[in-house]
A and B are shown apart, each in its own frame.
Chain A
Amino acid sequence: MRKLGAPLLTLTLALVLVSSVALADGEDDVERARSAFREGTELVQKAQWAEALAAFERARALRKHPVTTFDMAACERAMGHYTRARALYTEALDEHGAATEAAQRMPESLVGEARAIVGEIDRLLVRLTLTVEPPGSTLAVDGRPLLADGKELVAGLRPAGPGDPTPTGTFVVALDPGPHVLLFARRGFRDVTIARSYEAGRTDSLRLELTQMPATIRISASKPGAIVTVNGADVGPAPVNVLRPAGTYRVVVRRDGFVPYDTHLALEPGQDSSLRAELAQEKPSLFSRWWFWTIAGVVLVGATTTTYLLTRPDPERPDVDAGTLGWKVDVR
């Protein structure tokens, strides 16, 4: 059961002040602001915190006042939205500090209470120290991106939407106590979803590594019966779907009588790529003509014979045995 604290007394006090100041400005906006503020106060007494918050938001929209912001923070706090409550209490303090007229300030008791509640909320929040690989992966908590607030990312402050890229290295995420769903995502990688409930004041560390998703190549050919090879490996006749890790691949599509289709593909993780091989009819080459090889053979034999005849060494005679005396006499 959430503890409500002293908001009733505060809210009451915040009401008098507003009434006394409002008459000095535009009467329509002030009247509507007063009416909305009054409605909010009545709803707070009925513990209808969401409706009270909405009434205070209408009042604040017509006429900004740190008390109104204080009361909004109190509603969020009552609903257990601590990160929002802290943000609104801090905003109320900022509005109080920036006011140039007394009518625009909060009573000092509210100021002290706001500061104390901010410190209390700080101790209640859950803090997760996260390291995500690869860096740049997005993170959404409960379907909402995080708000960078100084040294930490705070969940629950931004409207619903896709997550933002996470910082490189280790970072801290602040959460309300209770159940949450953290979604880590990166294009080409498999999403990582963590659904967990954290008690108030919990701190935790988490290291996450996203795995690459294979790429898909959908290969088809303009002629039936063409055989597909990927990096030299036969993957079968087209059409064929091939899953491969991210990288560069040589795809060749062949069919007899046609010029081979030869190309390279660079694939990202999770990429889905389609490739259609347009096969062109092959023209018979000179090297396939019988008469070409006949002529070439004749020329080759002739050249070999001529070369041999021109470069062959002079004929020699058998060596003469000089006998045991090592002596041979030429009588010429």
Chain B
Amino acid sequence: MEGRRALIGAIVVATAGAVAACDTRTLPPFGQLRIHVETDAPIPAIVSRLRVDVFSDGLWIESRDVSLRDRAEWPASFTVLSSETSAARRIRVRLRAYREGALRDYRGERYVPPPPPDTPPSAEPSEPAPSGEPRLVMNGVDQTPLDEPTPEAAIDRLVGTTLREGDVHDVRVVLRIECAGTMADLAGDRTCLSRRGALVTTPDAIADADTAPSPWIARLEEARRALPPPRPGRTAPDGTPLHDDEVVVPGGVLLLGSREHGTIGTVHGKPIPATPERVFVIPPMLLDRFEYTVARYRDALRRGFTTAPPPFVNEEPGFDAVKTNGLCTFSTSPMPGADSREEMPLICVEWKTARALCLFDGGDLPTEAAWEHAATTADRPAKTAFPWGDDSPTCADAIWGRFNEPLIGAPCVARADPGGVLPVTAAPRDVTPSGVRGLGGMVSELTRDAYRPYRSGCWAGAPLWDPDCADDAHHEIVLRGGAWTMAPLSGGAIRVPSPRGGYASDGGFRCARR
């Protein structure tokens, strides 16, 4: 009897096991796409947040915005699935990586296509009229976000596929800074993959391997290796230092412009903004440690420099704001002794002469982007307002506040002091981590670029690598950085447009070389 009971039990167990094993009613997985998002942008300097918008069959169905300030949080991944098993679902996922705070009001999709190659540099694209569409309606409630990333500094990418029951795919998407500023065309289902300004039909995510490394990274390395050795400082025959030594400014990614530190004064009645911010890659360069000095100009003359027009001449010792050219630094002969202005910046010089002097020494005026990179970003983990950091300067930190306004005086000099520049070695705290002196104050510095608003076609269509808006025919040039005349001293993102043929007693220059 015991044996029979055991036999009965064995039959039941074996039967149950066999039936369960033969039960092939396991359901296939829902159609799903796992998206792994990576970026080649510096984190958090250029990218610190990710906006994800999901569209299904053209309807906006989901939106999420997450903070990803740490490199360790990348790649970030999530899954889009369809529990609809009777039909395939076509989905689009819009990924936008951007820097914290770089937002604008959402007024509907305001797609601005990349400027065509023949776009005039001065052209400023007009924004489409806000339509308010599309809207994100969830469970009958409008949950459309109130803002969206500003397109000029965001890396915008569409990912799409069709979800079918049983299909599970993983896709790696690299949000490249090459595509920063190139808006995805949501309505046209086009997106930038790897080339600025180039939109292609959104590829099927399953087929998009997207594993190519960003070329600018290797290019930076090559450019660094190709740099010649920096020039050491020389002295004049009388032993006066020329202060013509160079420093290596490493290349990197620059967020050109500034939402916080971008406006001073007006140009023709219009405020001078430093927005929209744009992302570029600045190659490494050799940059003059100091502003171009009077002694260095005199040395160039000895070596045969003859380009006209020459800088304006101040034959009197010291400075006199009332006299014509009374604040200029060059004199026909060096001022003797304590009145020597040989080690002061060469000012009162036209842009053309300044550039010619740089070219004479094998360099050029730095581009506006290169100048801002050196002053605010190079050798730093995050962009700073001033060369030394974000702290507003004191009179000892930089050369500023030396112009006695008739009514209000000057913060950094006595009332009767005529002000003016100082030797380039003044204000040792006005120095960048790379070792460049005087980018914060002393004189605003001439750059290679013509002045164009950042919204202009020149900047909108500028390439990722080493951008410029050089236009020798344009009547305005742009100086960068603060000067001895400014009070308060503005940050490194300040842009000072100036007539090309003009000169200024608070405008100088330095040279860059690659």
Interface string of A304-318 (1 = CB under 8 A from B): 110011001001111
User: Interface of A with B (CB < 8 Å)?
Assistant: 287, 297, 300-301, 304-305, 308-309, 312, 315-318, 320-332
Cα distance A324–B50 in the bound complex, in angstroms: 13
Q: Is the CB of B77 within 8 A of A324?
A: yes
Cα distance A113–B197 in the bound complex, in angstroms: 162
Chain A CB within 8 A of B474 CB: no
Q: What is the chain A residue whose CB lies nearest that of B1? A: A287
Cα distance A184–B30 in the bound complex, in angstroms: 99
- Chain B residues contacting A316 (CB-CB under 8 Å) are 26-27
Chain A CB within 8 A of B316 CB: no
Number of A-B residue pairs with CB-CB distance less than 8 Å in the complex they form? 92
Q: Is the CB of A323 within 8 A of B89?
A: no
9 cross-chain CB contacts under 8 A: A301-B11, A305-B15, A317-B28, A323-B35, A324-B75, A328-B79, A328-B81, A329-B62, A332-B82
Instruction: Output the least CB separation between A195 and chain B (Å).
Output: 61
Instruction: Output the least CB separation between B99 and chain A (Å).
Output: 19
- Chain B residues contacting A320 (CB-CB under 8 Å) are 29-30, 32, 79, 81
User: Which of B17-25, B181-189, B325-333, B387-395 is the interface stretch?
Assistant: B17-25
Q: What is the chain B residue whose CB lies nearest that of A305? A: B19
Of all A-B residue pairs in the complex, the 5 with the closest CB atoms, nearest first, are A323-B77, A331-B56, A327-B78, A304-B15, A323-B78
Q: Is the CB of B81 within 8 A of A325?
A: no
Q: A317-B27, A320-B30 are in contact. Are A325 and B77 (CB under 8 A)?
A: yes
- Chain B residues contacting A317 (CB-CB under 8 Å) are 27-30
- Chain B residues contacting A304 (CB-CB under 8 Å) are 11-12, 15-16, 19
Partner of A321, one of B23, B34, B73: B34
Cα distance A8–B56 in the bound complex, in angstroms: 152
Interface string of B50-93 (1 = CB under 8 A from A): 00001010000110101000000101111111111000010100
Partner of B163, one of A312, A324, A331: A331
Q: A320-B30, A331-B54, A331-B81 are in contact. Are A325 and B15 (CB under 8 A)?
A: no
Q: A329-B54, A331-B82 are in contact. Are A300 and B76 (CB under 8 A)?
A: no
- Chain B residues contacting A321 (CB-CB under 8 Å) are 34, 79
Cα distance A332–B64 in the bound complex, in angstroms: 17
Instruction: Output the least CB separation between B423 and chain A (Å).
Output: 55
User: Interface of B with A (CB < 8 Å)?
Assistant: 4, 8, 11-12, 15-16, 19-20, 23, 25-30, 32, 34-36, 54, 56, 61-62, 64, 66, 73, 75-84, 89, 91, 163
- Chain A residues contacting B80 (CB-CB under 8 Å) are 328-329, 331
Partner of B19, one of A308, A322, A325, A329: A308
- Chain A residues contacting B29 (CB-CB under 8 Å) are 317-318, 320
- Chain A residues contacting B4 (CB-CB under 8 Å) are 287
Cα distance A323–B28 in the bound complex, in angstroms: 20
Q: Is the CB of B76 within 8 A of A324?
A: yes
Q: What is the chain B residue whose CB lies nearest that of A287? A: B4
- Chain A residues contacting B20 (CB-CB under 8 Å) are 308, 312
Cα distance A331–B73 in the bound complex, in angstroms: 26
Q: Is the CB of B15 within 8 A of A329?
A: no
Q: A305-B15, A320-B79, A330-B83 are in contact. Are A325 and B32 (CB under 8 A)?
A: no
- Chain B residues contacting A308 (CB-CB under 8 Å) are 16, 19-20, 23
Q: Is the CB of A332 within 8 A of B15?
A: no
- Chain B residues contacting A328 (CB-CB under 8 Å) are 32, 78-81
Instruction: Output the least CB separation between A56 and chain B (Å).
Output: 84
Partner of B11, one of A287, A297, A323, A330: A297
Partner of B26, one of A287, A315, A325: A315
Instruction: Output the least CB separation between A134 and chain B (Å).
Output: 45
Cα distance A318–B82 in the bound complex, in angstroms: 13
Q: Is the CB of B78 within 8 A of A322?
A: yes
Cα distance A312–B25 in the bound complex, in angstroms: 10
Q: Is the CB of B78 within 8 A of A331?
A: no
Instruction: Output the least CB separation between A292 and chain B (Å).
Output: 11
Q: What is the chain A residue whose CB lies nearest that of B28? A: A317
- Chain A residues contacting B66 (CB-CB under 8 Å) are 325
- Which residue, of A317, A318, A331, has the highest number of chain B Cβ atoms within 10 A? A331
Partner of B79, one of A297, A309, A312, A327: A327
- Chain B residues contacting A327 (CB-CB under 8 Å) are 64, 78-79
Cα distance A321–B79 in the bound complex, in angstroms: 7
Instruction: Output the least CB separation between A76 and chain B (Å).
Output: 78
- Chain B residues contacting A305 (CB-CB under 8 Å) are 15, 19
Cα distance A331–B82 in the bound complex, in angstroms: 5
Instruction: Output the least CB separation between B121 and chain A (Å).
Output: 41
Cα distance A297–B29 in the bound complex, in angstroms: 38
Cα distance A315–B12 in the bound complex, in angstroms: 23
- Chain A residues contacting B76 (CB-CB under 8 Å) are 323-325
Cα distance A330–B25 in the bound complex, in angstroms: 23
- Chain B residues contacting A325 (CB-CB under 8 Å) are 64, 66, 76-78
Q: Is the CB of A329 within 8 A of B83?
A: no
Instruction: Output the least CB separation between B208 and chain A (Å).
Output: 18
Cα distance A315–B25 in the bound complex, in angstroms: 6
Cα distance A330–B81 in the bound complex, in angstroms: 5
Cα distance A316–B35 in the bound complex, in angstroms: 24
Instruction: Output the least CB separation between A325 and chain B (Å).
Output: 4
Instruction: Output the least CB separation between A167 and chain B (Å).
Output: 56
